[in-house]
Structure 1
Amino acid sequence: MKNIYKILIAFIGVLAVSCNADDVDNRPVIEAGTAPVLLTPKSDFSIVLTGDTGNDIATTVTWNKATYTGTQTIVNYTIEIAKAGTNFASPATVSNTTALSKEVTVAELNSAVLNGGFTPYQENDVDIRVKSVVGATGLPQYSNSFTIKVTPYAAWDNWGMIGSATPNGWNDPDTDLNYDLATKKYSYVGPLVVGEIKFRLNDDWTTNYGDDGNDKKLDAGGANIPVPVAGNYTVIVDIANKEYTITENK
């Protein structure tokens, strides 16, 4: 009886392997065919983006269909941009779709350009292309690219630093703080002299922060923040959480 069971188990195992092999052999194979072809916008496209037109259509990106051989499945398309001449080493995504065109709003294009590391209020050369994949990530194909010109606007508040310790003293203009999209914080790296500083919005005193307790907490209209030693500093300002740090760079 035991031998019969052993033979039966062995037979089932062989049958299972055989069926799996047949499944593999008969499984439909999908292979890349032709890449999408980007049609618009072309290299003569240029636009200056402004915040008050965020819902307007900046451009319509259109392309020809990518093809894949084998059993057809959904093809997803991603509109990508990158700094001109970088061969899309660090692309930023504009939008995803299964269609063959996409109306891109001013706000969408501006966000993608900023995420791509482009400079606000300056004309930038931007490479644009379309990537196709089968399903979520399979068999990527890339279209041709065009180089367009885009002038983005800053999608964050304009905070600056002013005071006797800053390069411009108490005089206008403020020393601008740089904004980090990833951390949502503002920063300054550079020289400070012995003196005081405050942070203010839009080069104006209407909204300004100091520190009443010298506890690294920002207070609206608070006391001037002392800088007791001259040197090269990194200043980090977290407006959302009303905190800041001032660290001397050794």
Structure 2
Amino acid sequence: MKNIFKLGIFAMLIMSAAACNSDDLTVLTPSKAAVLTAPAEGTVFVFDKTKATEVATTFKWDAAKYEGAATAVSYEIEMAKSGTNFQNATVVSVTTDKLKAVTVGELNAAVLNCGLSPFEPQDADIRVKSYIGEGGIVQYSNVIKISVTAYSAWDNWGLIGSATPNGWNDPDTNLDYSLSTKKYSYTGPLVAGEYKFRLDDKWDTNYGDDGNNLSLEAGGANIPVAVDGNYTITVDFTAKSYTITKN
């Protein structure tokens, strides 16, 4: 009899707790996604490394809506290579406001992080992700396509000279940079002639090879190329050394 009485009390407590919980429980459901309104579709950005701290643009959107009790909505501005359906997307910025000013440096970093190359105009897709709680109940805004020309986060070294694709004319033939080896490289055509390495398409900082012995000297002699062909050049500007191999 005592056991039956105890079970009855226990059941009543469970029912009471459930009733209280059902009264307090608020169900939140997505109602309307944010609408990205700025920047405009097709806006062209050409980033300048010397203006990294200046505001590049202000992203603006109409607020996302959720049915239920009022709660804070978080927003992430996402960027991805155009046409990839936001695979390998990167987060430009996070806020709880309906607008966000982003600097040249921040937007440039996002361009590189989502896999776009520096120094050439490319298309990127932008959208706003809204959510409440710890990433729950997500909605995505419309997508806006922009054109971006980024600068590299590393020094901009290039080749110039009669042996290179552009000859002695600007711009230089840019060298690729490896984050793993910290070295620069070029693979492509060279013709019989000569070349030098220079920084930022200017003669202020340039390297040649006075002894033609694969070591670099500031302002050194032009480096000769004997015959036309496809070559790979690898450069270590820290060690002041390079290799050149005909493929």
TM-score after normalising by structure 2: 0.65
The amino acid that maps onto 1:106 is V
Aligned to 2:56: 58
Deviation at 1:197, TM superposition (A): 3.6
Give the conservation status (yes or no) of the 8 Å contact 1:32–1:141: no
Work out the number of aligned pairs and report it. 225
Return 171-180 or 148-157, whichever deviates more: 148-157
Q: SS of 2:91's equivalent?
A: strand
Name the CA distance, whole Å, in 2 between partners of 1:119 and 1:175: 14
Report the aligned-residue RMSD.
4.3
Give the conservation status (yes or no) of the 8 Å contact 1:161–1:174: no
Aligned to 2:30: 33
Gapped regions of structure 2 (runs ≥ 5):
1-16
- Residue in structure 2 matching 1:233, options 222, 231, 234: 231
Name the CA distance, whole Å, in 1 between partners of 2:241 and 2:27: 54
Aligned to 1:13: none
Deviation at 1:73, TM superposition (A): 7.8
- CA deviation string 1:15-58 (max 9, x = no partner): xxxxxxx9xxx8x8987624433233332645554445433323
Q: SS of 1:189's equivalent?
A: strand
Deviation at 1:128, TM superposition (A): 1.2
Name the CA distance, whole Å, in 2 between partners of 1:136 and 1:243: 50
Deviation at 1:102, TM superposition (A): 1.0
Name the CA distance, whole Å, in 1 between partners of 2:146 and 2:201: 33
Percent identity over paired residues: 53
TM-score after normalising by structure 1: 0.64
Aligned to 2:125: 127
Q: SS of 1:112's equivalent?
A: helix
Name the CA distance, whole Å, in 2 between partners of 1:242 and 1:211: 10
Q: 1:77 to 1:240 in 2, by over 3 A?
A: farther
Give the conservation status (yes or no) of the 8 Å contact 2:164–2:173: no
Deviation at 1:206, TM superposition (A): 3.6
- CA deviation string 1:98-157 (max 9, x = no partner): 3332111233223323444155364x5432101234555555432211223445456654
Gapped regions of structure 1 (runs ≥ 5):
1-21
Aligned to 1:166: 164
